[in-house]
Amino acid sequence: MAFGLSPKHLSEFPLEDLSPEQFLVIAIKTAEKLGWNIGSINKSGLQAYTKMSMASFSEEVSIKIINGKALLKSECTGNQLMDWGKNKENIAKFIASFKELKQNVLPEELEQAYEELKNSFDPDADEFINISPISAKEKLTGILSVFIPVRGYFITPLLIDLNIVLFIIMSSTGVNILMPDGESLLLWGANFRPLTLEGEWWRLLTSCFLHIGIFHLLMNMYALLYIGLLLEPYLGKAKFLAAYLLTGIAASASSLWWNELVISAGASGAIFGMYGVFLALLTTNIIEKSARKSLLISIGIFVMYNISHGLRSGGIDNAAHLGGLVSGIIAGYAFVPGISKPEDLRLKTFTIAAMIVVVMIGASYVYTNIRTYDLEAYDAKMEKFGTMEKLALEMYFMPSTASEERILHEIKTVSLYYWNENKELIREADRLYLPALIHERNKKMFEYCNLRIKLCKLLCRAIEEKSEQYAEQIDDINQDLEVLINELSLE
């Protein structure tokens, strides 16, 4: 079985008594009889696309006439993992219809048809004029070829290699390969609003090359490989690299704008950007018309599924995905004039330069217009809270020989004092500009102080009245405290 991303079926078919020109004419008539859309024709063969159906997003059927035989290949244009025998069926239908037509056509009819056909293509051209949307996949001859740059597939493997090498280096320093902790991700450059806005703007880019575990890496690299094979032949090295980096930055800026305390990392924002570029091209004449509809549906379903899955699931940075997708669509349309005129280097340079300016202006606007949280002031207050909490809890560490008078004095003059001070400290902290999650935490901490004060007062009554009647209330408060402490510890 041939190595590749898409399901395919290959077969050889001898020309027998036919010349290459005669075989080509019958092959074209066969494709037309089967209802396939013919994309490109040259003297060595043709490319055709099957119709959409419930069983398939369409397949590309290519026929190449080489050394007295025809190489037949049917390959899925979409990103489905299985073709359920559709590609093999296409080749079988072609061969059967070809043999039937061959029996009913005269040699002179074939010669006349070829003379008319020559007017529709360059008879000296060995390559198809239009780029096949899946032709670059032929560059993958084995698993190692995924990582090796070649013409038409150059930037994609370098990006894949860079992501993998960085992950290996992170892992070699002790970062967990399955689920790295937030501290490790931040150390290596993940995007996090409090840090990014405190002058560490480079996180907008570095976060695009980090991954939260090996499964996250593998899924993103597969998606990058697939879109890279489809898109890089159209964009070329410079535009492809520019699109990847710029949509990645746009995705990170979107995440920065939307998320308050989310640690964001991964290439998915930039990858969504590349899918956005390709979606834009699929609405133009840049992509072969016969394959356009099937690829548009296939890529559209992939994008919509991942967006909807992210909305339903937690822990997925949809802001980055949407930011990358939208910026990619805009970039795709911006690239169309340059792709249509590949010889115009000034147009290509201007387009890339204009995109850099637009993305930098957008990212700068986001960066400078998000108010910075008062986290440093909040941390200082929480440190003070912890110190006073420790003093307030000293009552529990008094010696067993301590008298009731000493215990009462400790509770009234020390514990109650510091719990009330901590209540006031929480009020002050809650007036700071903080994320909503921290404001919610402040409410729980305020309730925690109230429960401690209530407990201290009940303990004083029980000691002063030498009564057991408050025991049940004291137990209830201790249970409430335990629940609240557990909740706070998990946040």
* Amino acid making up residue 442: N
Exactly one of 254, 268, 290, 327 is catalytic; which is it? Answer: 268
Give CB contacts under 8 A, 24+ apart, made by 302-307: 302/79, 302/275, 303/272, 303/275, 303/276, 303/279, 306/272
Question: CB–CB of 455/481 below 8 Å?
Answer: yes
Question: Is 439 tagged catalytic?
Answer: no
Which of 158, 333, 154, 144 shows the shortest CA–CA distance to 229? 154
Both tokens of 120, joined, read 């529709």
What is the Cα–Cα distance from 199 to 203, expressed in whole angstroms?
A: 10
Look up residue 412 and give its two tokens: 């009234």
Answer positive or negative: Cα dihedral of 344, 346, 347, 352: positive
149 — phi, psi (to 5°)?
Answer: -70, 135
DSSP state of 138: G
Q: And the tokens for 254?
A: 């979107």
d(CA 326, CA 273): 7
Residue pair 60/49 in contact by the 8 Å Cβ criterion: yes
Q: 51-83 b/e with 16+ CB inside 10 Å = b?
A: eeeeebbbbbbbbebeeeebbbbbbbbbbeeeb
Q: At 48, give phi and psi (nearest 5°).
A: -135, 160
Q: Are the CB atoms for 193 and 366 separated by under 8 Å?
A: no
Other CB atoms within 10 A of residue 143 CB: 8
The letter for the amino acid at 288 is E
CB neighbour list of residue 279: distance below 8 Å, 6 or more residues apart: 296, 299, 300, 303, 328, 329, 332
Region of 344 please: left (phi>0), alpha (psi -120 to 50) or beta: beta
Residue 38: helix, strand or coil by DSSP?
A: strand
Tokens representing 201 are 């703007």
Q: Is 268 assigned a catalytic role?
A: yes
Q: How far apart are CA 373 and CA 194, in angstroms?
A: 7
Task: Decide: 142 and 175 in contact? Cβ < 8 Å.
Answer: no
Q: Which residue is catalytic, options 207, 252, 321, 415?
A: 321
Q: Strand 37-42 and strand 8-14: pairing?
A: unpaired
Enter the tokens of residue 200.
């560490």
The residues annotated with a catalytic role in the active site are 268, 321
